[in-house]
Copies of this chain bind each other. A is one copy, B any other.
Amino acid sequence: MSKDSLTELNARLKAFAVARDWEQFHSPKNLAMALSGECGELLEHFQWLTEQQSFEISAQKKQEVAHEMADILIYLLRLSDRLDVDLVNAVYSKMAINEKRYPAEKVKGDARRASEYED
């Protein structure tokens, strides 16, 4: 199994939680909250930057951002484990939906929300 496999990451994260007797706190409700909390921390890194500046962050800030992103993936994988959701299948399924909702020739260069296309 390759190192970038979600299955492998998932197994390691579960073992970490089990070793600490933390699964009792890892209800889907709580994990969804923890995931959102980490997203809030991610936002704080970018909130006062211009879009251009958000590409040009310092090496230190990039490291901090990478760790916030890691936290998000960690909670997302924990949630998939606790709900028994196959996250990879879900992504491929959602990508198929998106291919239909947003045909390249129709939405090219236009990022309005899906609901706005239906108006």
Contacts and interface: CB of A to CB of B under 8 A. Distances in A.
A32 to B, nearest CB: 5
A111 B10 CA distance: 20
Contact of A55 (B6, B28, B71): B28
Interface in A77-119: 79-80, 82-83, 85-95, 97-99, 102, 104, 107-109, 111-113
A91 B51 CA distance: 25
Contacts of A44: 34, 37, 40, 113
Contact of A51 (B30, B45, B94, B108): B30
Contacts of A92: 3
Nearest to A97: B67
Contacts of A97: 67
Interface string A45-75: 1111111101101000010011101111110
Interface of A: 1-7, 9, 12-13, 16, 19-22, 24-25, 27-30, 32-52, 54-55, 57, 62, 65-67, 69-74, 76, 79-80, 82-83, 85-95, 97-99, 102, 104, 107-109, 111-113
